[in-house]
Amino acid sequence: MYSQHPESGTEPFRADPLPVDSAGRLTLPEGFSAAELHSHTDHSDGTCTAAENVALARGRGLAVVAITDHDMIDAALDGMRAAAEHGLEAIVGQEITTRRQHHIVGLFLERAVPLFKTVPETVARIRDQGGLAIIAHPFLPFPGATSESTIRGWLEKTTFDGIELDSQYLPQKRRAKLLAFYLAHADVLGAAVGGTDAHFGDVGRIATLFPGSTAADLRAAIENRATTATRTLISHRRPSIGERLRNQRRSLLYLPYYRVRALLTGRYL
């Protein structure tokens, strides 16, 4: 484990990945459950339906899964219905594109949050409907990714309910820098969470540990900064070339068209 959260005493990041049993289900510490807080479906640029993501989460021992498609929530609403049939809970979420193309994940939403607003306004729109605002995949080594200096600028104007301390694309050295940054600013960055950013049915590879077992327990843990970001030993087959091409087609062609349409009409899926 790394250093404890300065206020709650909760470990923000678990250094040892969560193991799985012979059936591929997570082996969890007593009294804790695991949640996937960042997953996509074929409504945006994923390759699985919401029902398929929910079924995979159930089979892998997760208690809660958030569907967080880009700039839309219809599939997340479908996930709520599918989750009830599989004996776990789903969260309506959205990965929101902000004015400068940074991403904020909204959790516990009731309706779609408008895109292309400033980050402080996006956070306000999320909170206006009782949602939680999470910084998505910071410190990634990609063009347009959210850097430390960018987040510092945001913190002059707003606070957050959480930050993804890990995603499956984050290199170890950058993760260590992110953790140090988090420990220095946890009071305004909120809870430490993990999210896979799953696009290919790879839900649960990065998870959020929380005390309890329900979505309500998870929300309380986020609000009280009692969550831990963790990697897991969940196995997942590599996506096929066809799946990668479908992901790229949706990402590069459909989503830009959808965003322009949403801006012009004010209608979100």
From 8, 72, 28, select the one nearest 212 (Cα to Cα).
28
Cα–Cα distance for residue pair 84/81, rounded to 1 Å = 5
Sketch the domain layout of the chain as residue ranges. Answer: 28-262
Other C-beta atoms closer than 10 Å to the C-beta of 156 total 8
- Start-to-end CA distance of the chain, whole Å, equals 41
Mean pLDDT over each residue of the chain, to the nearest integer: 93
- 3-class DSSP state of 195: coil
From 62, 1, 25, select the one nearest 209 (Cα to Cα).
62
Confidence of residue 159 (pLDDT cuts 50, 70, 90): very high
pLDDT given for residue 143 in this prediction: 66
Q: Are 18 and 231 in contact (CB under 8 A)?
A: yes
pLDDT given for residue 142 in this prediction: 81
pLDDT given for residue 9 in this prediction: 52
Q: Are 210 and 217 in contact (CB under 8 A)?
A: yes
Q: Are 94 and 69 in contact (CB under 8 A)?
A: yes
The DSSP bridge partners found for residue 211 are 32
Cα–Cα distance for residue pair 68/86, rounded to 1 Å = 19
Q: Is the pTM of this model over 0.85?
A: yes
The DSSP bridge partners found for residue 132 are 107
pLDDT digits (tens, 9 = 90+) for 175-210: 999 999 999 999 999 999 999 999 999 999 999 999
Cα–Cα distance for residue pair 249/47, rounded to 1 Å = 11
Confidence of residue 2 (pLDDT cuts 50, 70, 90): very low
pLDDT given for residue 144 in this prediction: 64
Cα–Cα distance for residue pair 250/240, rounded to 1 Å = 16
From 130, 133, 111, select the one nearest 122 (Cα to Cα).
133
Q: Does domain 28-262 have CATH number 3.20.20.140?
A: yes
The string of DSSP codes covering 145-170 is PPPHHHHHHHHTT---SEEEEE-TT-
Cα–Cα distance for residue pair 139/184, rounded to 1 Å = 15
pLDDT digits (tens, 9 = 90+) for 213-266: 999 999 999 999 999 999 999 998 899 999 999 999 999 999 999 999 999 999
Confidence of residue 5 (pLDDT cuts 50, 70, 90): very low
Please state, in angstroms and as integers, the Cα–Cα distance from residue 91 to each residue in 29, 65, 66, 122, 139, following that order: 23, 6, 4, 19, 25
Please state, for a pLDDT cut of 70, what percent of the chain lies above it: 96
pLDDT digits (tens, 9 = 90+) for 20-48: 999 999 999 999 999 999 999 999 999 99
